[in-house]
Amino acid sequence: MPGKKPGTTLELGHHSECTVLRVRGGLTRDAAPAMLLQGEIASLKADGPPRLVLDLGGVTAWDDAGVGAVIGAAKRVMTAGGRLLIAATPVDLRERFRRGRLDQRLEFRETVEQAVNEFGVPG
């Protein structure tokens, strides 16, 4: 697990197919990730179920609270009838999800572009 670094920023990007939420900095207890993610997800306004790409490519530090925040975000989106794709996850964080078998419940994509394009494909 990388060392803790202060600060987390969340940045929303809108595409016709979905919304991309970019996480930058620490996804740690100190950064209160759950509240940050929940606030951003709650603020999403959509005509239908949320379709969200969670871009973790800018995560520089994480802990169990950060993992819990990602799980909470996925539950919130799925409860609303939506779909969450997690993209660009750092290798060590992805390994943490794999060890907890969360990679069997959550959907991961290698890149943000791949995830956005998947939402653009009629299903």
Q: 62-87 pLDDT, tens per residue? A: 999 889 999 999 998 999 899 999 99
Distance in angstroms (rounded) separating the CA atoms of residues 13 and 15: 7
Confidence of residue 46 (pLDDT cuts 50, 70, 90): low
Distance in angstroms (rounded) separating the CA atoms of residues 43 and 111: 24
For CA atoms 95, 101, 104, 106, give the dihedral sign: negative
Dihedral angle over CA of 55, 57, 58, 62, nearest 10: 90
Give residue for tokens 């530090």: 61
Q: Report CA-CA distances (Å) from 114 to 1, 6, 75, 119.
A: 26, 29, 22, 9
Name the residue ranges covered by the structural domains of the chain.
Answer: 18-42+49-120
Span 82-95, average pLDDT = 96
Find the farthest-apart pair of alpha carbons in the chain and give their distance in angstroms, rounded. Answer: 41
Instruction: Using a cut of 0.85, tell me whether the model's pTM lies above it.
Output: yes
CATH of 18-42+49-120, one of 3.50.50.60, 3.30.750.24, 3.20.20.70, 3.40.190.10: 3.30.750.24
Dump pLDDT digits (tens) for 105-121.
999 999 999 999 999 87
For CA atoms 91, 56, 93, 98, give the dihedral sign: negative
